[in-house]
Chain A
């Protein structure tokens, strides 16, 4: 008989994901759930779902969850963590949520060095509402509200949130990763593990930015979307550690 070497993590409920075929939200959910299980914090975890495609991920993570108003997850997480510091508190947010309406909340959660772990999924558009331009939409990228392609002269260049947050003194650890192939998926999991270990060790604000895909709104096949991540997204959003408090000590 052969061994089972890969199985569904206990960090996920049995519920099927509602995401479009090939959307890498699913991969990121699995990685976060595996880390919660492997660090043995599922039973102290309290997650905060934001508003976007992943809004109902409170049905997918097998731990206590709260659903936050659009952009406010870092504030909700602050409230949870401050009253119950022994909980392992994380937010799971998209770029529309974190980089548009929620910029004040994420910047100030970092500024206060809140001891929470933020999972920030950047797919360069507003997915749930049908593919509108986001602050992270690339120059020239066509979306339903930049139908001739994003024009930086009119709406500016996309924001690199990890770099923005990285230079805030209170931010302890900020890394940008991708999940567009197995090698990067394994690296991404290490970053998630570090973000949660930091929280367990009380080191403070940790954020992992994931470059993610949106095949349906990018109007590409799932595999072409992964290619587009490599060819267009990563050059503008370089992967790697933006800030690591462990290094500065």
Chain B
């Protein structure tokens, strides 16, 4: 059962894929559609495996990712 959730602001993302590599659970991948900037943004393809560890948000150079965790999580890693 998913204990975390990520929200990517799709149009800020530049498709650098650092978050995809950093995610220990392979939750993220590069989308096939392009965003307003013409980049293929990050998208959660396995959202259920997300633990809310915030690694993706930590490595995102454009601060595009917000992370939610089920009650009881601590803030900002």
Which residues of A approach B to under 8 Å, CB–CB? Answer: 2-9, 12, 16-17, 19-27, 30, 34, 181-182, 185-186, 215, 221-223, 226
B62 / chain A contacts, CB cutoff of 8 Å: 16-17, 19, 26
Q: Do A2 and B12 contact each other (CB < 8 Å), given the known contacts A12-B63, A22-B61? A: no
Q: Provide the bound-state CA to CA distance between A90 and B21, in Å.
A: 32
Q: Do A25 and B61 contact each other (CB < 8 Å), given the known contacts A2-B5, A5-B76? A: yes
A8 / chain B contacts, CB cutoff of 8 Å: 63, 66
Q: Do A3 and B73 contact each other (CB < 8 Å), given the known contacts A22-B14, A26-B60, A186-B58? A: yes
Task: Tell me the dominant secondary structure on chain A's binding face.
Answer: mixed
Are B61 and A5 in contact, with the CB atoms below 8 A?
A: no
Q: Do A6 and B61 contact each other (CB < 8 Å), given the known contacts A22-B14, A222-B16? A: no
Q: How many residues of B contact A (CB 8 A)?
A: 33
Nearest chain A CB to B57 CB, angstrom units? 4
Are A24 and B69 in contact, with the CB atoms below 8 A?
A: no
Which residues of B approach A to under 8 Å, CB–CB? Answer: 4-5, 12, 14-18, 21-22, 39, 52, 54-55, 57-63, 65-71, 73-77
B75 / chain A contacts, CB cutoff of 8 Å: 3-6
Are A3 and B71 in contact, with the CB atoms below 8 A?
A: yes
Are A5 and B54 in contact, with the CB atoms below 8 A?
A: yes
Q: Provide the bound-state CA to CA distance between A197 and B52, in Å.
A: 30
Q: Do A185 and B59 contact each other (CB < 8 Å), given the known contacts A222-B16, A222-B18? A: yes
A3 / chain B contacts, CB cutoff of 8 Å: 68-71, 73, 75
Nearest chain A CB to B54 CB, angstrom units? 4
B69 / chain A contacts, CB cutoff of 8 Å: 2-3, 5
